[in-house]
Amino acid sequence: MIKKIFLFLFVTSCLVHELHTSEVSFIKSCKAGDHECLLAANTQIAIPYIADGIAELEIPALEPMHFENITIDQGFFKLFLQNMKVTGARKCKVAEMKRNFRESTMKMTLDCPLEATGRYIFSGSLWYHAISNEADFLIHAA
């Protein structure tokens, strides 16, 4: 899966570099030969495509992500998240991209304005009082 994404990024990088260098403003802002900058710019262009999923590479859509049941059980409290839907993957921005040739690794930092909705059921105790609560939730992460 990861390999496929990188393959896709690589292919996209080549294509985008060939086709759009003069059209896309933030690629123009890369200095000639600044491969880090080009890679980050190309990845940025690829993100919405990846978020929508790529059937040919069996990459499922990341937008929206759906989680049916998540349970966080900490002993003294229990949080149950139901039907969680996460959107915003296609709006991710490449904040940082660094390649380390010696170790053959790549580090990518994404800023994603994610939004999650669903229903939560909380039960636990706070200062020896049992609390339980159930409601819809909306979480913004910037």
Ligand X SMILES: *[C@@H]1O[C@H](CO)[C@@H](O)[C@H](O)[C@H]1NC(C)=O
The footprint of ligand X (CB under 6 A) covers 68-69
DSSP 44-62: HHHHHHHHT-BGGGTB---
Identity of the residue, 4 or 85, whose beta carbon is nearer to ligand X in the bound complex: 85
Closest CA to 87 of 66, 112, 114, 68: 114
Q: Any idea which residue has 């990024």 for tokens?
A: 9
- Nearest residue to ligand X, scored by beta-carbon proximity: 69
To the nearest whole angstrom, how small is the minimum distance from the Cβ of residue 77 to ligand X?
17
To the nearest whole angstrom, how small is the minimum distance from the Cβ of residue 118 to ligand X?
12
Residue 71, classed as helix, strand or coil, is strand
Identity of the residue, 83 or 125, whose beta carbon is nearer to ligand X in the bound complex: 83
